[in-house]
Amino acid sequence: MRKLLFITCFFVCSFSLFAQESFMIQTETRYWDDSKAYNGYTLFGTRGTTYLIDMEGHVIHTWPIGTNPRFTEAGTLLDAVGGNPSSQNSWKELDWNGNTVWSYTETRSTYHGHHDFAKIYNPKLGDSTFIYIANKDLTSAQCLAAGCDASNTYTNPQMDAIVEVDRQGNVIWEWCFFDHVVQDMYPSLSTYGVIANTPGKIDLNLRGNPVKSDWMHCNSLDYRQDSDLIVINSVHGEFYVIDHGNTFIANQPANSIALAATTAGDFKYRFGDPAKYDKGDPPSVLDNWEKATAGHKQLGGSHDIQWIKPGLPGAGNFLVFNNAENLFELTPQSYIVEINPYLNATGTNTGSFVNPPLAGYNVVNTPDNNLMKEKKNVSKQIVWRYSSKNNTSFYSTIGSSAQRLPNGNTLVCSMNDGHFFEVRPADTSIVWEYINPMTRDGIKKVKVDNYPTYNGVFRAYRYTATHPALNGQTLTPGNTMTGSTPNYFTPADLTSIKETEEIKSPDDILNQNYPNPFSNYTTIEFEINESKKLNVIIYDLGGNQIKLLTDRNYPKGKHQLQWDSSNENGVRMANGMYFYILKADNQQMCKKMIMLK
């Protein structure tokens, strides 16, 4: 049984649930509240390998592929080949043992697969199919003929397409942005129209962003079987809903592709940046050019658009990782955003898509002045939004994912720092946290300050043992990725140490141990303002005394001690976090340190 230690510190020995707050971070599982987390197995790909881990970080299974993996309802692992989410023309399904059970390669030279894909059940075909995003090459002549601004030069232009293939690898349906464009410069062309009256098409001549290579940079898609719709997300801050069911004709690929290119394939809904179709204000610098506003733009650099699945809290709503790039906030941070597309201005669920500008906006003030943010317009269709209270703690400029879990929690993968965490909906408390230890330089027990995506993970997913991919498999925990014994905080750890802040004497100093983290030996230095008797004691997180380092009189001045990581009996302690406390004159100072062998 753990002893409770109530420590009165002259400073706050703080524990952070967020990886970005420190330059030196212990990797793998860092916190777990098993009474509130949705306990299961987490799947992610990194550096060409897919890992399935349990809540403590033990590796359950691996596969020899690791770009953007996910389990299918058929019980297979589906992933792209090559390791780069931004460029992928081949995909594979693997069984539990890593054998290939299906594969497909895009061989057309004018199509360039990238970022996202999905295995779906096509109800009109009565069979499973595969959909993916591909940049489709255009020509300068095609762009000009469609109504692109003739004063620009169009070199290697592209627009994204969604391609569907059957199990035999035949293209059976295709939809492309280029077939759904509008422009207001050339009245003689068939694409001419009033931008504000044509929300179902993309403006060919977006201000400052002419058509070019990878123009839309779409990075995620999802399929909703009950309504036969597809949603696709652009990194520029919008996502679009497309009618697959009414543009697909079974066993007629040519007619399906032709139908998808008609107005039947225009957007049924779009969200994120209404200024792109003249229905809102764009981001702009204010009169005081040291400040800016996001206007009515809701998303920036966003990733992982999806419908929340049937049976889950929020089913039918959209969930998206809003990286929040290009939102012109003075202090940027990322958000998880849940959107109900059926809400109107009164908050009524209409049961059909409502153009977001018609639903209106709430003007939201910053909850704390230290966030240094301007007021912002938040769409009334946003029904839940998560961000860290400390805006420097949660920000990913690229990739990333969010998954709604059956207990209402949301699993978040922040790609920049290989940071996974599970957040509760009501109080937004963190109930599980993990840092990917696989880096560009191999597996690391400690992540130090480095450039973004040094240990990046594009997405992460949580599954239970009842999922078809895991049901019936032997899920015996192996070693952790680092080979270390799991060492993480629990709710008891966070409440077993009472941390208070008092006025500290300016003359007595307890320095941070060095090195920290350390493997075998570490040095503790302190300085006292007058001769006095003091002691220095090592404690573990449970409040158990590990070792009395000293208990005697010291003269005024600087002194140092060394701890060899052993307890009173000379036994070396396990990896983990420890506290060292200096007690003198009925007062005490404490600091934390990490041992990693």
Residues 390-415: tens digit of each pLDDT? 888 899 999 999 999 999 999 999 99
Q: Which of 13 and 367 is assigned the larger pLDDT?
A: 367
In this structure, of 63-67, 120-124, 491-495, the range with the lowest mean pLDDT score is 491-495
CA angle centred on 482, ends 478 and 483, rounded to 5°: 50
Task: Please report whether residue 581 resides in a domain.
Answer: yes
Task: Please report whether residue 398 resides in a domain.
Answer: no
Q: With contact defined as beta carbons under 8 Å apart, do 201 and 266 qualify?
A: yes
E strand or H helix that includes residue 305:
strand 303-307
Q: With contact defined as beta carbons under 8 Å apart, do 339 and 272 qualify?
A: no
Q: With contact defined as beta carbons under 8 Å apart, do 306 and 336 qualify?
A: no
Which of the 8 DSSP states describes residue 27?
A: -
Tens digit of each residue's pLDDT (9 = 90 or more) over 26-52: 899 999 999 999 999 999 999 999 999
CB burial of residue 96 (10 Å; 0-12, 13-18, 19+):
middle
Q: Which of 22 and 345 is assigned the larger pLDDT?
A: 345
User: What is the distance between the alpha carbons of residues 560 and 557, in angstroms, rounded to a whole number?
Assistant: 10
pLDDT of residue 114: 96
> Could you check whether the bond before residue 357 is cis, i.e. omega within 30 degrees of 0?
no
Nearest Cα to Cα of residue 305 among 161, 402, 418, 424 = 402
pLDDT of residue 234: 98
Note down the domain range covering 529: 505-595
Task: Please report whether residue 557 resides in a domain.
Answer: yes
- For the chain, the domain total comes to 1
- Cα-Cα-Cα-Cα dihedral sign, residues 257, 258, 259, 261: positive
Nearest Cα to Cα of residue 100 among 88, 87, 90 = 90
Q: Are strands 509-510 and 522-528 parallel, antiparallel or unpaired?
A: antiparallel
Q: Which residues pair with 234 in a beta bridge?
A: 218, 238
Q: What are phi and psi of 140, to 5 degrees?
A: -60, -40
Q: Decide if pLDDT at 501 tops 70.
A: no
Task: Please report whether residue 405 resides in a domain.
Answer: no
Task: Please report whether residue 279 resides in a domain.
Answer: no
CB burial of residue 531 (10 Å; 0-12, 13-18, 19+):
exposed
Strand ranges (E), 501-565: 509-510, 522-528, 532-540, 545-554, 557-563
Q: Collect all residues with Cβ–Cβ distance below 8 Å to 275 and sequence separation of at least 6.
A: 281, 282, 295, 296, 297
- Tokens representing 334 are 């990322």
Tens digit of each residue's pLDDT (9 = 90 or more) over 208-263: 999 999 999 999 999 999 999 999 999 999 999 999 999 999 999 999 999 999 99
pLDDT of residue 464: 97
* Reduced DSSP (H G I as helix, E B as strand, rest coil) percent helix, strand, coil of the chain, to 5: 10, 40, 50
Q: What are phi and psi of 265, to 5 degrees?
A: -100, 5
Nearest Cα to Cα of residue 66 among 397, 443, 444, 459 = 459
Nearest Cα to Cα of residue 423 among 400, 397, 403 = 403
Q: Which residues pair with 163 in a beta bridge?
A: 132, 174
Q: How far apart are the first and last CA of the chain?
A: 26
pLDDT of residue 118: 98
* pTM for the full predicted model: 0.83
- Tokens representing 166 are 């059957």
User: What is the distance between the alpha carbons of residues 242 and 277, in angstroms, rounded to a whole number?
Assistant: 17
Q: What is the mean pLDDT of the chain?
A: 91
Tens digit of each residue's pLDDT (9 = 90 or more) over 461-494: 999 999 999 999 999 999 999 999 998 988 887 6
User: What is the distance between the alpha carbons of residues 341 and 317, in angstroms, rounded to a whole number?
Assistant: 7
At 524, the amino acid letter reads I
User: What is the distance between the alpha carbons of residues 521 and 362, in angstroms, rounded to a whole number?
Assistant: 56
Task: Please report whether residue 146 resides in a domain.
Answer: no
Q: Which of 592 and 157 is assigned the larger pLDDT?
A: 157
Q: What are phi and psi of 470, to 5 degrees?
A: -110, -25
CATH code, 536: 2.60.40.4070
Question: What region does 126 belong to: left with phi over 0, alpha with psi -120 to 50, or beta?
Answer: left
Nearest Cα to Cα of residue 547 among 504, 593, 495 = 593
User: What is the distance between the alpha carbons of residues 455 and 482, in angstroms, rounded to a whole number?
Assistant: 14
Residue holding tokens 């179709």?
277
pLDDT of residue 320: 98
Long-range contacts at 262-266 (CB < 8 A, ≥ 24 apart): 262/179, 263/200, 265/175, 265/179, 265/180, 266/180, 266/200, 266/201
Q: Which of 6 and 255 is assigned the larger pLDDT?
A: 255
Task: Please report whether residue 590 resides in a domain.
Answer: yes
Q: With contact defined as beta carbons under 8 Å apart, do 526 and 583 qualify?
A: no
The DSSP-derived string for 58-111 is BEEEEES--SS-EE-TTS-EEEESSS-TTS--EEEEE-TTS-EEEEEE---TTE
Task: Please report whether residue 84 resides in a domain.
Answer: no
Q: Decide if pLDDT at 179 tops 70.
A: yes
Q: With contact defined as beta carbons under 8 Å apart, do 436 and 27 qualify?
A: yes
Q: Decide if pLDDT at 2 tops 80.
A: no
- Cα-Cα-Cα-Cα dihedral sign, residues 224, 227, 233, 239: negative
At 468, the amino acid letter reads P
At 262, the amino acid letter reads T
578 pLDDT band (50/70/90 cuts)?
confident
